[in-house]
Structure 1
Amino acid sequence: MKAYPDSVPMTIVAAAAEAHSSLRVGNIQAAVLMARTNVEATAKAKGITAGNLVAKIDTLYAQHLIYEHIQDAAHEVRFAGNDAAHGDLVDDPISAEEAESIVEPMDMLIEGVFIAPTKTATQAAAQLARKNTGTASVNGTTADSS
């Protein structure tokens, strides 16, 4: 099972785990549906509740919570999820490989919205702490920052 850090809300972790679990056991449409569910849940976790999923994804981007390529990836997850939700995969089912290529962008969204900002904030705090102690690491050696 894929592990997510504590910076990812448990509701998001649960939906992502279900997407991955479904993919592993061959429940392809369920994996795609859960990936789409996770995109929407991610937006809602960031307080974006108005409008349809298109609007929510675009608001994530407009609020600088995701980069443009993640916005595009989230829309691809949405497209595939909508096809699964509306029965459009009955005559042309999605393959396991295609489903994997839908679950992967879901993880990219989680990384961009929850994990990367926490890592960046942690690094910035560590850098500030080093500056406040009067020393900074330069090429692996400690030097006076004054």
Structure 2
Amino acid sequence: MSLTWDGDAPSVGEYLELRRLAGLSRRAPAAAARGLENSLHIVTARARGRLVGLGRLVGDGGCFAQVVDIATDPEFRGQGVATEVLTRLLDWADAELPATAQITLIADPGAFDLYRRAGFEIRTGMIRTQA
């Protein structure tokens, strides 16, 4: 099936549904709306108009950016959707962010290979999450 790609933010409902399908944590609709609105860049993949892949860059636009929300509908896993989403996000970052910008992400161990192939390396760190 042919996918269409764009940089438009999905609706809050689409975003929350894809996160659910992809097994990502729940977000409140108001928080999701604010997060989508404040993204540096968004990449979406659609099949027949339905959101099947997503990724976002968030950050300050100068020194720091973080890859978040890499999500693929389970029906489309194994077809390179996440790889293409990540590639498009990083291509945008290379073109639009200063060369000295640090791009980070937090990944589940099952996704390490995807991010290693894109040039990321594992480092130790800490995270604080809200309830």
Q: What TM-score does the superposition give when structure 1 sets the normalisation length?
A: 0.28
Q: Radius of gyration: which is bigger?
A: 1
In the superposition, the TM-score normalised over structure 2's length comes to 0.30
**Higher relative CO (CA 8 A, sep ≥ 6), structure 1 or 2?**
1
Decide which structure has greater helix share: 1
